[in-house]
Amino acid sequence: METTLIILKPDAVQRGLMGRIIGRFEDKGLQIVGCKLMTISQDLAATHYKDHHGKPFYDGLVRFMTSAPVLVLAVRGIGAIAICRSMMGATFGSKADAGTIRGDFGVSNSFNLIHGSDSPEAAERELGLFFASGEVLEYERAIGQWIYDYSGGAPE
């Protein structure tokens, strides 16, 4: 099982899309194992987006991400990183396919609703930035056997 960080950005929160977006992940069979509504500090935004520092869009990105509350999620499942990124769609809403989160809810090339970790290493680093020890939970779901085939002894 992989766990990834998902951030519902200020535009998703302000537009009241949190429940609809979370529902998509749950409908897919992914497990929400951490969740918090928060306002990202300047320091946290700078740390999170350090790889973009110095790029033309960096200042606007930090300003946007600290402008209003976000919802941060820890999402778990087999292949969760790739699945979540596929569900998110192309970075720019105007170019995202219908059926994806950005394709269905976004048209802006600046406000793109959602962030998802792009690799296991990024997920581990990002989850550590947004969740303290003990805030990402381990728990069994009664429906697990209906999401993954356990007939071979392990989920597939």
Query: What's 97's domain CATH number?
Result: 3.30.70.141
Tell me, yes or no, whether 152 lies in a domain: no
**Structural domain span for residue 39:** 2-134
Question: Is 76 inside any structural domain?
Answer: yes
Edge-to-edge, what's the strand order for the sheet holding 2-8? 31-38, 70-77, 2-8, 114-116
Q: Is residue 105 part of a domain?
A: yes
What pLDDT band is residue 106 in, cutting at 50, 70 and 90?
A: very high
Number of domains in the chain: 1
Q: Is residue 139 in a domain?
A: no
What span, in angstroms and rounded, lies between the C-alpha atoms of 101 and 123?
Answer: 20
The pLDDT, as a whole number, for residue 110 is 84
Structure tokens at 26: 């749950």
In a domain, 108, yes or no: yes
Q: How confident is the model at residue 109 (pLDDT cuts 50, 70, 90)?
A: confident
Name the amino acid, one letter, at 75: V
Is 77 a member of any domain? yes
The one-letter amino acid code at 94 reads S
Residue 72 has pLDDT above 90, yes or no: yes
Q: What is the pTM of this model?
A: 0.94
What residues are labeled active site? 115
